[in-house]
Amino acid sequence: MSSAPDRQLGPDLAIATSIGDAADVLVIGLVSGPGSSDGPDADATPVPVVGDGILDDAQLAEISASLTAVGASAGAGEISRIVAPASIGASSILAVGMGARSALDDPDTVRRAAGVAARTLTGVGRVVTTLSTVDLGAAAEGFFLGAYRFEEFRSDKTRSTKAPLASVALLPGTAARDAAAELDRARSIATAVAVARDFVNTPPSHLYPEEFANRARTLGETAGLEVEILDDTALIEQGYGGIVGVGKGSSRLPRLVRLAYRSGASDAKKVALVGKGVTFDTGGISIKPAAGMENMTSDMGGAAAVVATVVLAAQLGVGVDVTATVPMAENMPSSTAQRPGDVLTQYGGITVEVINTDAEGRLILADAIVRACADDPDYLIDTATLTGAQMVALGTRTPGVMGTDDFRDRVAGISRRIGENGWAMPFPEELSADLKSRVADLANVTNHRWGGMLSAGIFLREFVADGVEWAHIDVAGPAFNTGGPWGYTPKGGTGVPVRTMISVIEDIAALG
């Protein structure tokens, strides 16, 4: 799966049976130890994480002595490079700090360590790692995603002179039951995350509603999905007032993409995915400040994640039916743009007074949610770079999760378990009254700034059909990293929340 067919999204990944004699670098982990205590009396001496039977006692002793000599630290993300013992075969050893020994129970510790190693080892040909003896799948994902690079629009003048990490051989641990299957799954998941990153990183000059829809069609048809695309004329004819209203200010008119995966099981649960696809957001007539507006290329991060996830669900053959409904629009100010004070009719008939044209994401999501609910799904997940209030409340790395109580908590718990760190948020009922309109059924924003993330979720709740288990994931900060890279997360598009959504889908397949 690739948003650009000729692009290699990550390094080659393979299972290794031994370190061999052709590795450029052996990547290992370091934890504080050697005991299991994490309290103040714990021995802070770094202990290599190498798995059982891979290195002998003499090799381990030599590695430990060299790491001590260079002052190696087990602090999370700290790196140390030493010459490898001649008997190992690798030219050098890169040790990555993983923190306390107990942190090894968290797969994201392995994922982050592998990502740090991948970012460090640019220009390196072949790497062998023992991080995979702790968790093979997490190590594979971390190396793949840590090595991710987006340079499509750079000339030779500014393109990196060092190639990204090319090849990683993973040594499985003794507990690995089916290493090949685990690696295949990890590779598929990491590729899907990278595809979502590519979409987000592609500038709006090259990714606009029609082009986004065409690329989604190609991915969907390649994966054997049912594909339907509504153009601007069809959207008007069928009453998608929210999508039309947001998109009509641009010369590049809106689209609605539907991608459906059928599991083939007669009793399969049905999961609906909806993602906000604003390919660029100026704010419309309620125009945004100029500073930082270039980051609004990321305002289709929810749509990117949803497209990648439904394709991934098909590739993994999950035992549920998954349908993605993806509205795509560009929010521009012009003589044809909607105005503050306009009233539009959402798909399904609810009328909305547009108080602020920069609260556009909820308008296109509302149409898509109503359409998705027409298929009678058991579960609905929508995700969007929806509100700056998400970052005010939770920072740039923690998605806010809202929805029906039980499913909201289930999604947030899974998100934390897989390292995307979603956090359950409430729906204070007093905010509902603040969405009343003077002239329509609803206003698209409240008349104050308090609880902005929550009131956006409450607005969306009005469009979710009764009986549907629903979760809304606000990824305004987590979908796009404006700071420096960390762990396996690069600057720019992150691919959040692809891994959350596929993990929830698999959980539904397993437990209903």
Catalytic residues: 288, 362
Bridging pattern class, strands 25-33 and 126-129: parallel
Compute the distance between CA of residue 324 and CA of residue 260 in angstroms, rounded to an integer.
Answer: 6
Compute the distance between CA of residue 432 and CA of residue 139 in angstroms, rounded to an integer.
Answer: 45
| Triad 89, 92, 95: Cα angle to 5° | 120
> Collapsing DSSP states into helix, strand and coil, what is residue 330?
strand
Token pair listed for 358: 């920069």
**Alpha-carbon torsion (256, 261, 267, 270), positive or negative:** negative
Compute the distance between CA of residue 196 and CA of residue 218 in angstroms, rounded to an integer.
Answer: 14
Token pair listed for 356: 């602020």
Compute the distance between CA of residue 95 and CA of residue 32 in angstroms, rounded to an integer.
Answer: 13
Q: At what angle do helices 301-316 and 209-222 cross, to 10 degrees?
A: 10
- How close are the terminal C-alpha atoms of the chain, in Å? 28
Identify the CA nearest to 400 among candidates 475, 507, 294. Answer: 475
Residue 236 CA, distance from chain mean position: 32
Residue 511 contacts residue 443 (beta carbons within 8 Å) = no
Burial zone of 72 (CB within 10 Å; 0-12 exposed, 13-18 middle, 19+ buried)? buried
Q: What is the largest CA-CA distance in the chain?
A: 80
Compute the distance between CA of residue 422 and CA of residue 394 in angstroms, rounded to an integer.
Answer: 10
Token pair listed for 199: 């979409």
Q: How far, in Å, are 169, 175, 486 from residue 397 at the CA level?
A: 30, 32, 11
